Amino acid sequence: MNRVRAALPAASARVLDEYERHLAAERGLSQHTVRAYVGDAVSLLAHLHDVEVPDSAADGDAGPPDDADVAGLDIGELRGWLAAQHAKGASSATLSRRSASGRTFTAWAHRAGHLEVDPGPRLSSPRPHRALPGVLSAHQAGAMLRAAGSGAEQQDVVALRDRAILETLYATGVRVSELCGLDLSDIDLSRRLLRVLGKGNKERMVPFGIPADNALRAWLQAGRPELAAGRSGRSGARDAAFLGAKGGRIDQRTVRRIVHDGVAAVPGAADMGPHGLRHSAATHLLEGGADLRSVQELLGHATLATTQLYTHVTVERLKAIHDRTHPRA
């Protein structure tokens, strides 16, 4: 994608740079989200200008002129771009995401004065098939946390950390990026609350229960000081709530491994990462009687539609239980 971006006309490249600054600075999106939006915009502009990755070993067309900008981007180009993606085998979910990304770009380009008319509202997109997320049962989640607790009984610092991470993820449903970004000052043990900085730099308070409180206290009192003593000097480690083996702020890859290993200790549990624990927490909250609005607030979902996905999970599980247990199912 970097080579394609470098091959864009200079005028369009400047528009793309301006769009990237808008996403990062004005909208405050995460690096991952900015990268995804910009990647789609690069693909769209490459289609608009018929840009191919240059081959240094071959002679050929010099490509579009450097002053070619985005003014020619209309509904036909948008539809042609999606058609090309479909021809390459893109799924309906991918096409739907790219349609939304394309509309975001054209709306911004119109507001910024690069397009006279915004063609985005005329672009329809396929309805994606939303697969039901895999979740642990409440029994499986309990078994995973009991296994993590037995390992922590030996007071091994890494085992104390891993138990605290698993308990916190399941108790709060926070995203892995949110957990890795937690500072010590974000944990209020007296009120059992986490201050979480979510997507779009939106701050929310998330409660946690007694088991997570016990695990966090054990980690902060007996585990973290030992790892912090061997701190390698990496940025942000002094304030980080969770540390890696070398004393720096823990990274998402390490947390994913911790979750995979924790779930692997439960016979019959589907393999999953931190997002699977987030799904599990939401599902169990709804099964326990929590209302959708409360779960939306806890998880930091921007829209209620995202939270409503979990209602389908609970219905499917009820149907499976009915089919398995009712004599006339």
Say which of 204, 231, 260, 275 is annotated catalytic: 275
Q: How many CB atoms lie within 10 A of CB 323?
A: 9
202 pLDDT higher than 90:
no
H/E element, 319: helix 304-325
DSSP string, 272-308: --HHHHHHHHHHHHHHTT--HHHHHHHHT-SSHHHHH
Q: For position 317, what pLDDT does the model report?
A: 63
Residues 97-122 have a mean pLDDT of 93
> Residue 58 — pLDDT band, cuts 50, 70, 90?
very low
pTM of the model: 0.62
Order across the sheet with 193-197: list the strands: 187-188, 193-197, 203-207
34 pLDDT higher than 80:
yes
Q: For position 114, what pLDDT does the model report?
A: 94
The rounded percent of the chain whose pLDDT value lies above 70 is: 87
Residue 122 DSSP one-character state: G
Residue 117 DSSP one-character state: S
118 pLDDT higher than 60:
yes
Domain 138-274 is found in CATH 1.10.10.60: no
User: Is position 284 annotated as part of the catalytic site?
Assistant: no
Please write the tens of the pLDDT for every residue from 131-165.
Answer: 555 789 999 999 999 999 988 888 889 999 999 99
| Average of per-residue pLDDT values in the chain | 86
70 pLDDT higher than 80:
yes
User: Is position 246 annotated as part of the catalytic site?
Assistant: no
> Residue 244 — pLDDT band, cuts 50, 70, 90?
very high
122 pLDDT higher than 60:
yes
Q: Which of 33-42, 82-91, 301-310 has the highest mean pLDDT?
A: 33-42
Say which of 19, 37, 170, 310 is annotated catalytic: 310
Contact 206, 196 (CB under 8 A): yes
Residue 212 DSSP one-character state: H
Q: For position 290, what pLDDT does the model report?
A: 83
Contact 223, 154 (CB under 8 A): no
Q: Could you tell me where in the chain the CATH 1.10.443.10 domains are found?
A: 138-274
> Residue 297 — pLDDT band, cuts 50, 70, 90?
confident
User: Is position 175 annotated as part of the catalytic site?
Assistant: yes
Let me know the angle formed at the C-alpha of 185 by 183 and 189, rounded to the nearest 5 degrees: 110
> Residue 30 — pLDDT band, cuts 50, 70, 90?
confident
User: Is position 275 annotated as part of the catalytic site?
Assistant: yes
Q: For position 92, what pLDDT does the model report?
A: 81
User: Is position 19 annotated as part of the catalytic site?
Assistant: no
Q: Which of 37-51, 82-96, 287-301 has the highest mean pLDDT?
A: 37-51
Q: For position 230, what pLDDT does the model report?
A: 66
Say which of 161, 278, 279, 284 is annotated catalytic: 278
Say which of 103, 175, 249, 279 is annotated catalytic: 175
At 167 the three-state DSSP class reads helix
User: Is position 310 annotated as part of the catalytic site?
Assistant: yes
Say which of 86, 97, 199, 231 is annotated catalytic: 199
Q: For position 130, what pLDDT does the model report?
A: 57
